[in-house]
Amino acid sequence: MTDYDWIHRGPIDWLEGQGYGEDETVLVYFRGTTRAAVADGLTARHRPPFARGEEPAPGEWGVIVHPMLNPSRDDYDDIDYRGLCPEGAELVVFVPNPCIVKAHGPKAYHYRDGRISSCVDYEGAEHVGERWPNALAPLVTAAGLGIGGEFAESPDHEQRLTALICEHLGLPALDRAAMTVDRELMDDYQ
């Protein structure tokens, strides 16, 4: 299995080779839009990119890491990614540490054409609801990663679930060497 340890540690801690800390960043894969458009959209929402991968070729996935919160603005709300996902685009958003204080599990969201198609809460990954569409639920259940599933309580459950999502959606493995971290922006942001 490819290294999906970033889902435990957080993308920035993983990129910088640090152990698990208090990394409150979000990993966004994008396709069908440009890195600049996603970066500008995040910056406009006061969540500037802390790290970015290389500009993807047309039809390929790119990646950006941004802060989950903006404490300097008292902004602790989730951002709405639909505006960053125009017609013909896709986003896959991983929130490894949605609430470090309360120790909630990660969440993953899949957007296509400005609409959400899946919201996977790692604490009930097979759940489907009116406010929580989850086109990935049958896949999660079939893999035994839902509540009561064969692998639901395994120590590597989060990594297995992340691998399943990434492989199903064709997301490339993260490559530290291809990522640029903006340490100055991170230091100024905090």
Stated pTM of the model: 0.91
pLDDT in tens, 68-100: 988 888 887 889 999 999 999 999 999 998 765
Mean pLDDT of the region 96-117: 82
**HSE-CB of 36 using CA atoms within 13 angstroms:** 0
Confidence of residue 109 (pLDDT cuts 50, 70, 90): very high
pLDDT in tens, 143-173: 888 777 776 678 888 899 999 999 999 999 9
Core vs surface per residue 17-52: b (16+ CB within 10 A) or e: eeeeeebbbbbbbbbbbebeebbebbeebebbbbbb
Mean pLDDT of the region 17-40: 90
